[in-house]
Amino acid sequence: MLKDQIEKHLLEVQKPSRYIGGEVGSIIKDKSKVELRFAFCFPDAYDIGMSHLGMKILYSLTNERENYWCERCFAPSEDFEAIMRENNIPLYALESLDPIKDFDFIGFTMQYELSYTNVLNMLDLAGIPIFAKDRTQELTQIVIAGGPCVCNPEPLADFFDIFVLGEGEEVNLELMDLYHEMKKNGASRDDYLRKAAQIEGVYVPKFYSFVYKDDGTIDHMEVSEGAPEIIRKRIIRDLDKVYYPENFVVPFTEIVQDRVSVEVLRGCIRGCRFCQAGFIYRPFREKHTDTICKEVKCLCENTGYDEVSLASLSTSDHSEIDPMLTKLLDYTVSERINLSLPSLRVDNFSESLLEKIKKVRKSGLTFAAEGGTQRLRDVINKNVSEEEIMNTCRIAFEGGYSSVKLYFMMGLPTETDEDIVGIAELANRIIDLFYSIENRPKGKGVQISISCATFVPKPFTPFQFEPQDTREMIEHKQELLLESVKTKKIKVSYHNPDVSQLEVILAKGDRRLCKAIYTAWKKGCKFDSWEEYFHFDRWFEAFRECGIDTAFYANRRFEYDEILPWDHLDYLVSKEFLIRENKTAHQSKTTPNCRLRCSGCGVNKKVGRECF
Amino acid sequence: MIRVRATFEKCGRAKYISHLDLNRCMLRTFRRSRLPIWYTEGFNPHPYYSFALALSLGFESSCEILDFNLNEDIPFDEIRDRLNAVMPEGMRIVKVAEQKQKITAITEAEYSFSLVSDDIDGIYEDIGRMLALPEILIEKKTKKGLKMVDIKPDINIKSCEKGDSSVNVVMRLPAGTQTNLNPTLFVESLKKFSNIRFEAEKIRRTGIFCADNEIFS
């Protein structure tokens, strides 16, 4: 048995409890009664993957079916991977400790571009052919992926049999049910894939091929085997009725998000033009306060967690936020549970909301201002005025806070040096504000942390057409920002521009990138999101060897009438809308949020109902 | 408020739960059991519970001690059952009782382990030869740096028998709030002393004792 082999080496590695299962809440089934096995793989370390809410939902949902067994699988850290390779221990799932190569489905959730090489590494560790074309014709080992990154899955197209677009609660089971049925009848892999491609939200990349123009852009796409020309993402219509787990697997080792997490809404009304999540998760849908409270209570009782967080893109946009927090705090305070609220917006941060948060929060406040000047914030449609930022900081300072963290992006479309200097100036004005307040926290200095990410244009946003700044441009702006900050009360940190460049290439890439990803992995690239494992030189070599011009993807403006690698995927927002928004951005004009006025993104028409 | 002492097993996969993780794990277990655990009264109230001795990662145990207070008087058997209903795999409360002795009364802990080797006779002999040395020196990390310490006086072998593929040892070592000696130090010393290859397996704490050989309870 694999268990003995694993245990023989487990004490040689860091945090061994990540590799042996047995956690409270993990689901064990009688193998002899199970007819379909699904390995839910997160292409990163346990500590990260176990924090992912989508996995918790789909894990429990699948296991509700008595004859289906969904298990968890993560990327082993370097130390354990070495032991696995040395001792021929294949990648296994944590519930049964069985090798995942024998499973019916191997499903990956693609949350960020920098996890792509980990998928290849995990398939290799599992002993599953890395390229879909090399897999057996037998109906087994179907390698599928979902998650936000599959809105442009082309750079991964050679490695997967199926991509699932949109929300998985319904379509995952439809795929499994079809498999279960066809397996009984002795169907082949291709038989299954042909039928699966007819399910809404299911994209089988091998039925699609691309012809390119001489300039490298796409000339046209060819579809075979009767697969649909356009693949539309799936959505759940009613969040109060959709399945939500009553229990989570509670890990022994500390994970990144070590708490109960309850989703309060999906989608976002804001339409910030850089934000992919704000567009691909439309339409905006809320859960009722009662449902949220019920789920919080149930999960806290079953898991024993004493901390709960509300998950969404913008929690304060929930229409019942005040009564919801009042009701939740009644419960959490009496049960000595901490309630944390990530994703708060600057503009509707009221005093009463702060009072509520203060009861439960000890840490500092974080605001995403994104742009240093009002002009630039208008370009990106971050509908936040300086007055609102100042007002929020004033409330926070008067409420006893003395440190504020501000998020900005660098390299945004139309950005000039003035916008960069504007970041430092904004921070200076916040410092002045602090000292102008009479009842500011006494005996403490003010601390402003500026965190600067490099802008990465993403598919399905109005900025999908935009080029990314070159490394030289970003370095110039970083230096300029450092020069503009003249006080120790402001701390500046920023991202490595090479990482952001790789992100944009993988985000906006096409099918020709598959071999570069493979080559980079062969050169030892994995865990690219971990600073200590990120080797841009190896990636650079891989791109060069594969004849990939990185500037073609990263630093080129994609034309409005160009066929984009993801144009055949329908995420409900129309391309016309994205073009319109792009033009509006270049006029430095804003678009009001969806509640104030419908901006005509096209989602309501396709869903067949008004959003509000 | 009642003060109680639970004795619990930590076996199987639970042996990979580190001491730090065990703390968090017990907190969640208490919460799942919905037992009225007593919270400290202070600026930052937290549930009060404490483990008598830390257990090394990878060791099993049949006798771990956990002290805690409850706000209500609940029968010991009910406390045990409510905790066992929500304990992680490999962990089981064997007994819940009152706290007889103070934690500071602990003097020794007993361990059993197997030394697995192709040459059992050789290992068996080498154990005898090593114990016959005038002193067994090991390097011990202290605050002032490395220090040589003689562990021979601390080793109290209870049994040492040849099995099918291993030599099975039971020994007592100093334990408690003052000094602790980890059985792996004995194993490492033997590895240095002996030329025979062997591995220590199934290390298990089997008893916690006070002065005069009394079982801690």
- What pLDDT band is residue A353 in, cutting at 50, 70 and 90? low
Burial grade of A191 (CB within 10 A; 0-12, 13-18, 19 or more): middle
Check residue B196 and report its DSSP letter: S
Q: CA end-to-end span of chain B, whole Å?
A: 20
Closest approach of A302 to chain B, Cα-based (Å): 6
The residue-averaged pLDDT of A410-439 equals: 95
Task: Choose among B111, B107, B115, B215: nearest CA to B171.
Answer: B111
Assess B58–A contact: CB distance below 8 Å, yes or no. Answer: yes
Assess A338–B contact: CB distance below 8 Å, yes or no. Answer: no
Q: Rounded distance, CA A485 to CA A450, Å?
A: 10
Per DSSP, the three-state class of A443 is coil
Assess B86–A contact: CB distance below 8 Å, yes or no. Answer: yes
pLDDT digits (tens, 9 = 90+) for A269-290: 999 999 999 999 999 999 999 9
Contact A20 B13 (CB under 8 A): yes
Contact B32 A16 (CB under 8 A): no
Q: Which of A94-108, A313-327, B71-85 has the lowest mean pLDDT?
A: A313-327
Contacting residues of A for B58, CB less than 8 Å apart? 10-11, 16
Q: Rounded distance, CA A528 to CA A522, Å?
A: 13
Query: ipTM for the complex?
Result: 0.92
Per DSSP, the three-state class of A570 is strand
pLDDT at position A389, please?
Answer: 87
pLDDT digits (tens, 9 = 90+) for A541-589: 999 999 999 999 999 999 999 999 999 999 999 999 999 999 999 999 9
Closest approach of A15 to chain B, Cα-based (Å): 8
Closest-CA residue of A relative to B24 is A252
Q: Is pLDDT above 60 for A360?
A: no
Closest-CA residue of A relative to B201 is A8
pLDDT at position A42, please?
Answer: 98
Q: Rounded distance, CA B103 to CA A307, Å?
A: 31
Nearest to B28 among A11, A22, A304 (CB): A304
Q: Which of A441-445, A464-468, A522-526, B6-10 has the lowest mean pLDDT?
A: A441-445
Contact A591, A581 (CB under 8 A): yes
Check residue A605 and report its DSSP letter: H
Contacting residues of A for B28, CB less than 8 Å apart? 24, 250, 303-306
- What pLDDT band is residue B160 in, cutting at 50, 70 and 90? very high
pLDDT digits (tens, 9 = 90+) for A72-121: 999 999 999 999 999 999 999 999 999 999 999 999 999 999 999 999 99
Contact B90, B15 (CB under 8 A): yes
**What are the φ and ψ backbone dihedral angles of A306, each rounded to 5 degrees?**
-115, 25
Task: Choose among B88, B95, B191, B92: nearest CA to B136.
Answer: B191
Assess B147–A contact: CB distance below 8 Å, yes or no. Answer: no
Q: Rounded distance, CA A147 to CA A150, Å?
A: 6
Contact A304 B86 (CB under 8 A): yes
Contact A169, A57 (CB under 8 A): yes
Q: Is pLDDT above 90 for B146?
A: no
∠ CA(A83), CA(A89), CA(A93), 5° rounding?
A: 110
Percent of chain A with pLDDT over 70: 96
Contact A252 B86 (CB under 8 A): no
Strand partners, A565: none
Assess A305–B contact: CB distance below 8 Å, yes or no. Answer: yes
Assess A95–B contact: CB distance below 8 Å, yes or no. Answer: no
H-type alpha helices, A92-234: 116-126, 168-184, 189-196
Q: Are strands A260-263 and A307-311 parallel, antiparallel or unpaired?
A: parallel
Task: Choose among A104, A39, A96, A102: nearest CA to A73.
Answer: A39
Closest-CA residue of A relative to B88 is A24
Number of C-beta neighbours around residue A353 at 10 A: 17
Closest approach of B120 to chain A, Cα-based (Å): 20
Assess A250–B contact: CB distance below 8 Å, yes or no. Answer: yes
Closest approach of B132 to chain A, Cα-based (Å): 31
Assess A16–B contact: CB distance below 8 Å, yes or no. Answer: yes
pLDDT digits (tens, 9 = 90+) for A295-311: 999 999 999 999 999 99
Contacting residues of B for A252, CB less than 8 Å apart? 16-18, 21, 24-25, 88
Q: CA end-to-end span of chain A, whole Å?
A: 56
Strand partners, A68: A36
Q: Rounded distance, CA A515 to CA A556, Å?
A: 21
- What pLDDT band is residue A186 in, cutting at 50, 70 and 90? very high
Number of C-beta neighbours around residue A520 at 10 A: 27
Model pTM score: 0.95
Nearest to B32 among A20, A21, A304 (CB): A304
pLDDT at position A358, please?
Answer: 61
Segment holding A85, helix H or strand E: helix A78-86
Q: Rounded distance, CA B62 to CA B92, Å?
A: 9
Q: Is pLDDT above 70 for A15?
A: yes
Burial grade of A591 (CB within 10 A; 0-12, 13-18, 19 or more): buried
Q: Which residues contact A416 (CB under 8 A, 6 or more apart)?
A: none
Number of C-beta neighbours around residue A220 at 10 A: 10
Interface test with B, best of A9, A17, A80, A337 (most B CBs within 10 A): A17
Whole-number average pLDDT of chain B? 95
Residue A90, preceding bond cis, omega within 30 degrees?
no
Interface test with B, best of A28, A249, A252, A302 (most B CBs within 10 A): A252
Assess B45–A contact: CB distance below 8 Å, yes or no. Answer: yes
Assess A247–B contact: CB distance below 8 Å, yes or no. Answer: no
Contacting residues of B for A305, CB less than 8 Å apart? 28, 31
Q: Is pLDDT above 90 for A489?
A: yes
Interface test with A, best of B11, B25, B37, B87 (most A CBs within 10 A): B25
pLDDT at position B145, please?
Answer: 84
pLDDT at position A346, please?
Answer: 54
Closest-CA residue of B relative to A251 is B25
Contact A22 B57 (CB under 8 A): no
Contact B16 A302 (CB under 8 A): no
- What pLDDT band is residue A384 in, cutting at 50, 70 and 90? confident
pLDDT digits (tens, 9 = 90+) for B22-49: 999 999 999 999 999 999 988 888 899 9
